[in-house]
Amino acid sequence: MHAKVRPLGEVRRASRQRSMAEVLADVVCNLQDILRSEIHLRLAQARDELRAFRPAGTLITLGILGGLLSAFFLLFAIVAALSLVISVWIAALLVAIAMAVVCVVLLRRGANLMRSRGGKAAAALEERTPWAGPPIA
């Protein structure tokens, strides 16, 4: 038998008896350590996943900014073209109203899509963490 390995009976006799409070305190401390380690692991995994998307996110952001800039100049050109027929302030007002309507429609569609996918995301999250159990009310 290995020098550090002792039969179970010797270990029990050699160790002092611990109170139930000490055992429970050790269990709670160990559970806290496990939970803390699990949270750190999840945060590290999330950071790694987000780092993989950073270059794509940068390119998408630059594309969106370029698109917004081109849309601004397009709207400016529309205002300039309309100002040949009607007053400049009326042309700018018409373009602003048309863009507001388009934005409202897009925001409503996006919000509806977000609501419909929110339930699916929550279900997927529950699926990935079966150990979490039902939420406490």
57 and 73 share a domain? yes
* 121 found inside a domain: yes
Residue 40, pLDDT score:
94
* 52 found inside a domain: yes
Is the pTM here over 0.75, yes or no? no
Residues of the chain with pLDDT below 50 are 1
Domain count, the chain: 2
108 and 62 share a domain? no
* 135 found inside a domain: no
Residue 110, pLDDT score:
87
71 and 103 share a domain? no
DSSP line for the chain: --SS---HHHHHHHSPPPPHHHHHHHHHHHHHHHHHHHHHHHHHHHHHHHHHHHHHHHHHHHHHHHHHHHHHHHHHHHHHHHTTTS-HHHHHHHHHHHHHHHHHHHHHHHHHHHHHHHHHHHHHHHHH-GGG-SPP-
